[in-house]
Structure 1
Amino acid sequence: MRALLNMRALSYLFLFLLLDPVLVVLSVNPSLNDDVLGLIVFKADIQDPKGKLASWNEDDENSCGWFGVKCSPRSNRVIELNLDGLSLSGRIGRGLLQLQSLRKLSLARNNLTGSIGPNIARFENLRVVDLSENNLSGELPDDLFRQCGSLRAISLAKNKFTGKIPSSLSSCSALAAINLSFNQFSGSLPSGIWTLSGLRSLDLSDNLLEGRIEKGIEGMKNLRTINLAKNQFSGKVPDGFGSCLLLRSIDLSENSLSGSLPEDMKDLTLCNYLSVSGNAFSGEFPAWIGEMKSLETLDISLNRFSGQVPSSIGNLQSLKTMNFSGNGFSGNLPESMINCTSLVSLDVSQNSMSGDLPSWIFKSDLQKVLVSQNNLRGGGSLKNPLYSLEEVAVQSLQVLDLSSNAFTGEITSDIAVLSSLKLLNLSKNTLSGPIPAAVGGAVSLKELRLGKNSLVGKIPTSIGNCSSLSTLVLSQNSLSGSIPAAIAKLTNLQVVDFSFNNLTGILPKQLANLPNLHTFNLSHNNLEGELPAGPFFNIISPSSLTGNPLLCGAVVKKSCPSVLPKPIVLNPNTSGDYAPGSLPPHLGHKRIILSISALIAIGAAAVIVIGVIAITVLNLRVRSAASQAPAALTFSAGEEFSHSPTTDANSGKLVMFSGEPDFSTGAHALLNKDCELGRGGFGAVYRTVLRDGHSVAIKKLTVSSLVKSQDDFEIEVKKLGKIRHQNLVALEGYYWTPSLQLLIYEYVSGGSLYKHLHDGSGGNFLSWNERFNVILGTAKALAHLHHLNIIHYNIKSTNVLIDSYGEAKVGDFGLARLLPMLDRYVLSSKIQSALGYMAPEFACRTVKITEKCDVYGFGVLILEVVTGKRPVEYMEDDVVVLCDMVRGALEEGKVEECIDGRLQGKFPAEEAIPVMKLGLICTSQVPSNRPDMGEVVNILELIRCPSEGQEELG
């Protein structure tokens, strides 16, 4: 029997625990004061994943030192509880009822669930309640606010509440702010809400409220902001708004309101925001709008207004945003709007406006102009709307949409002035003539839409200057010629549409390198040949290729003729007046492409004709060339290039991997001192320009005695020429003589990372985001090389270049393979300029040289990029090694002080510090302790995006 009684007692105790935790806590510790008791009970219902409530201890005498708690200094009673943004979950229990002195309760931006009971507002002193941005739900009790005499602000926004707004809300006479937005409240507005004369802000937007907006608002003399948008209100807007003279913002958008706007709104001279978009307002737009002279935003879009835009709009000199789209306006924009000098955004699209586009549009500081889907015309040519472009006046214009109008004529070269333009849409007009090359001057363009016109001529190669382009639509015109290879430079391209034109020729193979493509429509042209080999073109939709019968490849189910591609081999020995050891003076003027067998046949015939004497003369000239440095190998105008009838071993040999050489003539000197870009351990680098304007960088290798034989040299160089990666400088070809070896690389315009970090002008300064991208790009390049079993051996900031898009490109890779042997002494002497980057194993002959040498150098590079300091810096009486300095700062907890001071706090510490720690791991003295570069790439990507929901920091 006693055992049965004990079991019953335990059952009752368990039931007590479930029903009233307050009583349980009281029974365990009856000495707790009310605030400690209430908060401990509240905590029992809450899950705290971040452990922020760990300081809440029931053994404390009071709760004044607890996280999120503020007490009155006089009474030590809790007056504020602020637990915003802590990812708390669970429900709001009855424990808070113990906090009788509470003035502010803020639990916003958490994951709290459940409903709100009728007791939540039963606090005599409660002034602020903020439960916004949670997952609370259910209906609010109608008597929820019956004891809210002191309540001044309540926000239940962004939850899932349903039902009607409690009528008891009108009893909160001290209320100054109500925010019930982004819920599912339904029914009509409580009639008593207009009696809250002290109300300053009312936000009931994004709900399911319906019915009419009843009269009575005129009593709210202190109202500053009212937002009833995105509900189901209907009928006319009542008079009375004009009595709220302090109103600054009115938003009635996206309802079913009709009729006209109440005329007394004209008295709201302080109002700067008025939006009634997405309703059924009709009739002519009232001219009294010009009396609301403080308006900065006026949005009446998607209504049924008609007639002309009133000229009184010109009185709104503070107006910044004007949206009249989606109405029935006719006529033209009034000339008086030239007085709207603050206007930034103008949208009158989807109306019935006609006439010429007003000239004042291009003489203002407008950033956004949308006039699409009207009947506007441009007179005899498009020069009319763009006729007076002045560079100073239109520097700000970023969006220009003139689509679906009646513009005719040609696109003029004046368009180059729009250097800040990001979107240009001229589609669905009747434009003719060619696309001007000047379009390349609009260097900020992200979207260019010229489809459905009558444009002719070729696609200009200058479009390759628009490096930010993501959308390029030229469809349904009469464009001809081939697709320029310059398109492949636009690495941000996502959508391309060239369909329904007269384009011909073979698709440039470089298009395969576009990394972000998801649409490329080439249908209904006259293109031919094989599709570029790449991930996108292997899965391109066949519908994007229809109407090109000469295209071939697996996607179009048509085999291509088998052609074995060979590198172009040119023998530059001609009867011209130059030394055989130098490059030909006029490459590309008359280019002859010969196979190796043809060269042998011609050479043999030439030997018979010319004889021993010619060979002897050539040899003497080779020795002469070898005895002096070819410091200025120029390409002179007027000299023809043809093949020499010789196969002498000292003959020069030029090989280009991807096309015919086409060097400029005249003043451009291949190895001219004035064109020198820099010098490194393996030689000096010069810049020259091909005839088509394409720049290349030419490295003149030094210490010829250390270079392998011609056969071995060519084998290694051709291997390097096959390596392609967006973060590696591409090797485009080479030139060989026994006394001179040149490597021809793509030219990277942005200069070296070293210059950006240390050569100091503000124009070269790198932001944190740019630095992180350089580090990540360099890591990807090295990981790719290591995957191909290639060790760089010479990673340093002067060998990392930055292209015009801000991408890192690693150069000088694999050059150690051109040496006869990978001797440590030779390597050390060749990369002696890389002081501070060399792994310690270079000094120890018993340790194998592996990819971990590159990892060490990369780790030093990370620290250099983040700190802005050189790997080794010489002070007046000391030498500072960067790795040691950062490692010491980390041990002292001061690593953040090492970050480049020029960033001035504009960096995310949660990225910068882990990146520096990664740099220290990469510079471990023991090679096996360093990660692989593939692992480094993964780590960096995790640092940048630790979770799928986290936004990327710029």
Structure 2
Amino acid sequence: MVVKLILLLHLLILPSIVVCLDAFNDDVLGLIVFKVGLHDPAGKLVSWNESDDNPCKWDGVECDPNTKRVSRLTLDGFSLSGHISRGLLRLQSLQKLSLSNNNFTGSINPDFAHLWSLQSIDLSGNNLSGSIPDELFQQCGSLKFVSFANNELSGVIPDSFGSCMSLQSVNLSSNRVSGNLPAKIWSLNGLQSLDLSNNLLEGQLPQGFGSMYSLRVISLGKNAFSGQIPDDIGSCWQLQSVDFGGNSFSGILPESLQRLNMCTTINLNGNMLSGEIPDWIGHLQSLESLDLSMNRFFGRIPFTIGNSRSLKQLNLSSNGLIGGLPESLMNCVDLLAIDVSQNMLKGKIPNWIFGLGLQSVSLSGNKLRGNIEYPSPRSMAPSYQSLKFVDLSSNQLSGVIPSEIGAFRSLQFLNMSGNSLMGAIPRTVGDLNVIQVIDMSNNILNGSIPAEIGNALELRELRLEGNRLNGAIPSKIGHCSLLTTLILSGNNLTGAIPPAIANLSNLEVVDLSHNKLSGNLPKELTDLSHLTAFNISNNNLGGELPAGGFFDTIPLSSVVGNPSLCGSVVNQACPAVHPKPIVLNPNPSSSSDFGDDSFPPTARHKKLMLSISALIAIGAAAFIFLGVVVITILNLHVRNAHDARSAAPPTFSRGDEEYNHSPMSDSQYGKLVMFSGEADFGTGAHALLNKDSELGRGGFGVVYHTVLGDGRSVAIKKLNISSLIKSQQEFEKEIKKLGKVRHPNLVSLQGYYWTPSLQLLIIEYVPSGSLFKLLHNDPTRSTLSWHQRFNIIVGMAKGLAHLHQMNIIHYNLKSSNVLLDSSGEPKVGDFGLARLLPMLDRYILSSKVQSALGYMAAEFACRTVKITEKCDVYGFGILVLEIVTGRKPVEYMEDDVIVLCDMVRGALEEGKAENCIDQRLHGNFVAEEVIPVIKLGLICASQVPSNRPDMAEVVNILELIQCPSEGREEEIE
């Protein structure tokens, strides 16, 4: 044993030394050296013992039965961490090395090329960094399978990659590999699978597909490839899966694609492909999944698509398709999901679509009209059991909601919002046993909310706002114990709020505003521990607001418009509740009408005792009243003193090192931190309370202009979300993260001030005002030229792309939060402040933060959809249209409401997009830039998050759109 340990120590110090000792197998030594450098928290390698003569019985180790040498090392998901040491190089008979889904760090050892027997290497799902070593493929021996997916690898694909002729499968997906695709890659005629998706690869695809006759799977999605898809892709006649989605490919679909008769999956979503969808798409008999969403296809959906009998998933959303759904789709008996949302489809919804046995139907964002008709439940029983997802929102549907809807017993998501549906909500909704989301908002529904809704025990979100519903809120809604969101605002509901709502312990958001509800609020509502928003404004509610829990910090905006409501929040004292006064006989010696003799002696004694008790009660009441008066006076005195102290200059600190405080406590003076330099308010502290220095108001608070003691001009944001804000520790953590954000197109955060009751942010002062004022409120200033507008759009895109690169979501994008500096460069402000809230609840974001109507993405209305950076992309798309047209996202006319996005999309459909351009430009714009920018804005404002591009992709697209400066000047002239 001692000899073995000495040899092991020498190997660790001098790994190039070859140790030959019959008693100590090279494989044992190599694996022990490998183990020594690892952290094994789960004890997966406990069976690895250096005293063993061979490792063939160790966990994860397989040996050749003849030579007893290690042939396979499979340690997938062992929770190992550390570096992959050189000890593995001693395993000269190793054929398969699989270390996936661990926590290995460091770089890939190029000496793995010296393992001549190695056929398969899988290092996916780790934290490996650095570049892919060129040496690994120069002498790759018998290497067939390589997977480095889901790591942190960077650099380019080495040129030697195209020389490893034995390769059959390569997966480098989900890294940061960049550069162009080497042309020699097409010489790998034995390659069967190539996955380079989710990287930073760019440029055009080289020609040469024709030589890859063995290729079956190719995935290049989520990169930055551009140009046209090579014409010879159809030469890879064995291709079964093609994924080029999420790039910038342009042009039409290459005709050679129709030769891919074995292809089951084609994904080209999120590109800039154009033209009509060709008829030959229906000739692909093996096709099971077709995704052409978020491109620029136009025309009708080809009738021949019904010939693809194997089709299971069809996604044509976010294009410019017109006409209706072809009836030939009835032939696709295996179809499970169809998404044609965000197009320009017209006509009625064919009733056969609900009889195909589909699981998911999304027709939202079109111009579909007419009634919703379902086939007979008896004849279509299997189909009714399969449907899980239905989205018919944002169309022009009318008529009533059919009662047959209750036959869809497997339905989990139902969205019919934004139509003109009328009549009553059918009682059969209670038959939807597994429904999780019901959204029938913004229609013309009337009647009462059916009590049967309480039978939907899996319901999590109920949205019925913006209708004409009346009657009381059914108490049986208290049976929906999983409900988290209840939005019933903007109706004619009457009666009291049922106490049963207090039983819904999972409730997070409740909006009952703008109804005719009356009565008192149930006191039990304070037991709702997950509540983050409860809006009852503009009703006829009365009585005292509940005290405790969420209601101690409920904002005033959530309770206004209830004249009889009282409590500290509405600044209206509740009337004192006294017992009925006891009338005492002023002359107890005189007889009453009945005469004292009518009472027995015991009764007279009780009467006397009652009088004494009454006197005591009156005296106590007077004493309590006097105490209330005294306490009120004291409170006013303390409040005045506190206001006086608040006006005093706060103490400052730099970084995490605080300066000396006054003898008074920190709760009075707070903590002020500057991220760079030292400063104080000087005389500027009084400006914070001065209305004249106010710059603007937003969802988070009021912004003032002031000058620091060193003469620096800054903006101060006084936050108004103190009741919702996190602890000081969490507040400072989030603010310091935002303070590190630096970009020419982002407003920088320079410091902060904290007390438990007051939080201030010190922000870069941008003198030229907001984009909103420049576009809408300041007609005296000169109009922005198209060149200036385009630069603003590009600057905003770059700023947002930088935020997203730092994993920061803006959440509050609108034109009033885009400021312009003295040179006209845009600076996006107010970003990331939603992180200060205790939880990123979409209702709070929509009601408190997203205060400007029209910029909010559709997923804020659906709790089942994750909020991501794509929400910012939606707001950016609306901003683009606002800049181009000079119009607000939503404009209220005398008898109409104009939604900018819909207006522009309609004009584009009619070929009149130029009519939408701001008339103040007087024709001085570059048509080659304006029209593509409009289309880009509409794509970014897609209702489907996955159809929106990333901001980094938006920047690349804008750079492609931008014309040379010479052409720009000539066009304007």
Q: TM-score scaled to structure 1, two decimals?
A: 0.55
**Matching residue of 2:503:** 513
**Matching residue of 1:431:** 421
SS for the counterpart of 1:282 is strand
Structure 2: which amino acid aligns with 1:455? L
Residue 41 to residue 419, structure 1, CA distance change in 2 (3 Å): closer
**Matching residue of 1:525:** 515
Structure 1: which amino acid aligns with 2:460? S
**Matching residue of 1:841:** none
Q: Which whole-Å CA distance do the structure 2 matches of 1:388 and 1:377 have between them?
A: 23
1:63 is aligned, of 51, 55, 58, to 55
Give 1:399 deviation, angstroms: 1.5
Structure 2: which amino acid aligns with 1:505? G
Structure 2: which amino acid aligns with 1:403? S
2:355 is aligned, of 330, 349, 363, to 363
SS for the counterpart of 1:353 is coil
Quick check: which has more Rg, 1 or 2? 1
Greater Cα shift, 51-60 or 242-251? 51-60
Greater Cα shift, 146-155 or 413-422? 413-422
Residue 353 to residue 439, structure 1, CA distance change in 2 (3 Å): same
Partners of 2:509 and 2:534 within 8 A in 1 = no
Structure 1: which amino acid aligns with 2:493? L
Alpha-carbon RMSD: 2.6
**Matching residue of 2:346:** 354
SS for the counterpart of 1:394 is helix
Give 1:59 deviation, angstroms: 3.1
Deviations 1:873-897 (A, max 9, x none): xxxxxxxxxxxxxxxxxxxxxxxxx
Partners of 2:192 and 2:214 within 8 A in 1 = yes
**Matching residue of 1:544:** 535
Residue 300 (str. 1) matches residue 292 (str. 2): yes
- Give the number of aligned pairs: 549
2:566 is aligned, of 537, 554, 558, to 558
Partners of 2:374 and 2:404 within 8 A in 1 = no
Structure 2: which amino acid aligns with 1:350? Q
1:272 is aligned, of 246, 264, 267, to 264
Residue 325 (str. 1) matches residue 317 (str. 2): yes
**Matching residue of 1:244:** 236
Greater Cα shift, 360-369 or 480-489? 360-369
Residue 144 (str. 1) matches residue 104 (str. 2): no
Give 1:14 deviation, angstroms: 14
Q: Which whole-Å CA distance do the structure 2 matches of 1:540 and 1:31 have between them?
A: 69
**Matching residue of 1:80:** 72
Residue 193 to residue 539, structure 1, CA distance change in 2 (3 Å): closer
Give 1:550 deviation, angstroms: 2.3
Deviations 1:140-184 (A, max 9, x none): 222221111200101111111110112212222111110111111
1:20 is aligned, of 1, 14, 19, to 14
- Structure 1 residue runs of 5 or longer lacking an equivalent are 1-11, 566-954
Q: Which whole-Å CA distance do the structure 2 matches of 1:304 and 1:86 have between them?
A: 46
- State how 1:417-496 maps to structure 2 within 5 Å: 417-496=407-486
Residue 364 to residue 389, structure 1, CA distance change in 2 (3 Å): farther
Residue 146 to residue 558, structure 1, CA distance change in 2 (3 Å): same
**Matching residue of 2:828:** none
- Structure 2 residue runs of 5 or longer lacking an equivalent are 1-5, 546-550, 552-558, 560-564, 568-573, 580-973
Deviations 1:292-330 (A, max 9, x none): 111111111111111000001010111111011111101
Residue 501 (str. 1) matches residue 491 (str. 2): yes
Residue 539 to residue 293, structure 1, CA distance change in 2 (3 Å): closer
SS for the counterpart of 1:154 is strand
Residue 73 to residue 395, structure 1, CA distance change in 2 (3 Å): closer
Partners of 1:22 and 1:95 within 8 A in 2 = no
Partners of 2:365 and 2:394 within 8 A in 1 = yes
Give 1:377 deviation, angstroms: 0.4
2:187 is aligned, of 187, 192, 195, to 195
The 4+ residue runs of structure 1 with deviation greater than 4 A are: 12-19, 383-391, 536-543, 559-565
Q: Which whole-Å CA distance do the structure 2 matches of 1:329 and 1:483 have between them?
A: 42
Residue 78 to residue 540, structure 1, CA distance change in 2 (3 Å): closer
**Matching residue of 1:939:** none
- State how 1:763-782 maps to structure 2 within 5 Å: none
Q: TM-score scaled to structure 2, two decimals?
A: 0.54
Give 1:202 deviation, angstroms: 0.7
Give 1:52 deviation, angstroms: 2.8
Q: Which whole-Å CA distance do the structure 1 matches of 2:576 and 2:458 have between them?
A: 37
Give 1:518 deviation, angstroms: 0.6
Greater Cα shift, 44-53 or 54-63? 54-63
**Matching residue of 2:81:** 89
Structure 2: which amino acid aligns with 1:114? G
Q: Which whole-Å CA distance do the structure 2 matches of 1:474 and 1:311 have between them?
A: 37
Deviations 1:898-939 (A, max 9, x none): xxxxxxxxxxxxxxxxxxxxxxxxxxxxxxxxxxxxxxxxxx
Partners of 2:510 and 2:533 within 8 A in 1 = no
**Matching residue of 2:111:** 119
SS for the counterpart of 1:354 is coil
Structure 1: which amino acid aligns with 2:255? E
Q: Which whole-Å CA distance do the structure 2 matches of 1:316 and 1:455 have between them?
A: 40
Q: Which whole-Å CA distance do the structure 2 matches of 1:64 and 1:18 have between them?
A: 23
Structure 1: which amino acid aligns with 2:343? N
Q: Which whole-Å CA distance do the structure 2 matches of 1:516 and 1:358 have between them?
A: 38
Q: Which whole-Å CA distance do the structure 1 matches of 2:402 and 2:577 have between them?
A: 43
Residue 543 to residue 163, structure 1, CA distance change in 2 (3 Å): same
SS for the counterpart of 2:462 is strand
Residue 199 to residue 383, structure 1, CA distance change in 2 (3 Å): closer
Residue 405 (str. 1) matches residue 395 (str. 2): yes
- State how 1:898-937 maps to structure 2 within 5 Å: none
Structure 1: which amino acid aligns with 2:344? S
Deviations 1:192-245 (A, max 9, x none): 111111111111111111111111111111111111111111110002221111
Give 1:383 deviation, angstroms: 4.6
SS for the counterpart of 1:144 is helix
Give 1:536 deviation, angstroms: 5.8
Structure 1: which amino acid aligns with 2:169? A
**Matching residue of 1:43:** 35
Q: Which whole-Å CA distance do the structure 2 matches of 1:37 and 1:215 have between them?
A: 48
Q: Which whole-Å CA distance do the structure 2 matches of 1:563 and 1:339 have between them?
A: 73
Deviations 1:790-835 (A, max 9, x none): xxxxxxxxxxxxxxxxxxxxxxxxxxxxxxxxxxxxxxxxxxxxxx
